[in-house]
Amino acid sequence: MNETIRKFGYPDTLIREYQHWVVLLRPQQVTLGSLVLASKEPARQFHEVSERGFTELKSAVTHIEQALVQLARHQKLNYLMLMMVDPDVHFHVIPRYQQPARFDEVAFTDHGWPGPPALTRFTETDAATNAAITARLKAHWPSA
């Protein structure tokens, strides 16, 4: 796995692994269900992703959207490809909520609503909460 995937907690944060992509729970939950969709290929620019990788991206995005809507009903879903700090091709997937979303006893506020996501403001979660969110998403993940 590449440096970016490891930085976002692989394998502990792994929700689903595809041939060319991984879906990880973002350790810092900007909003409930914030994810990282990262290419496993040695690609530092989007055009370097293989044709097979691009084809598989469709399935990964479809599965992400189906699972996230089961976790909590978001109003919008943002895919951010920033790659300013972490160089490998990846997206931050940020569900957007007009009102705080709840997971068990934790309320997750979307501090950027209705504007761009506030990536530096997130809900503090512990390892147990992140593991529970990961497990819930895995349970809702569509079969391949």
pLDDT tens digits for range 49-84: 999 999 999 999 999 999 999 999 999 999 999 988
Report, as an integer, the average pLDDT of 7-18.
97
- Residues 139, 50: Cα–Cα separation, whole Å: 29
SS3 labels along the chain: CCHHHHHCCCCCCEEEECCCEEEEECCCECCCCCEEEEECCCCCCHHHCCHHHHHHHHHHHHHHHHHHHHHCCCCEEEEECCCCCCCCCEEEEEEECCCCEEECCEEECCCCCCCCCCCCCCECCCHHHHHHHHHHHHHHCCCC
Q: Note the pLDDT of residue 143.
A: 82
Q: Note the pLDDT of residue 31.
A: 98
pLDDT digits (tens, 9 = 90+) for 89-99: 999 999 999 99
**Domain boundaries, given as residue ranges, for the chain:** 3-140
Where b means 16+ CB within 10 Å and e means fewer, 7-23 reads bbbbeebbbbebebbbb
Q: Note the pLDDT of residue 55.
A: 98
Q: Note the pLDDT of residue 109.
A: 97
Q: Note the pLDDT of residue 144.
A: 61
CATH topology for 3-140 is: HIT family, subunit A (3.30.428)
Tell me what percent of the residues of the chain surpass a pLDDT of 90. Answer: 97
Q: Show Cβ contacts of residue 81 under 8 Å, excluding neighbours closer than 6 positions.
A: 46, 89, 90, 91, 92
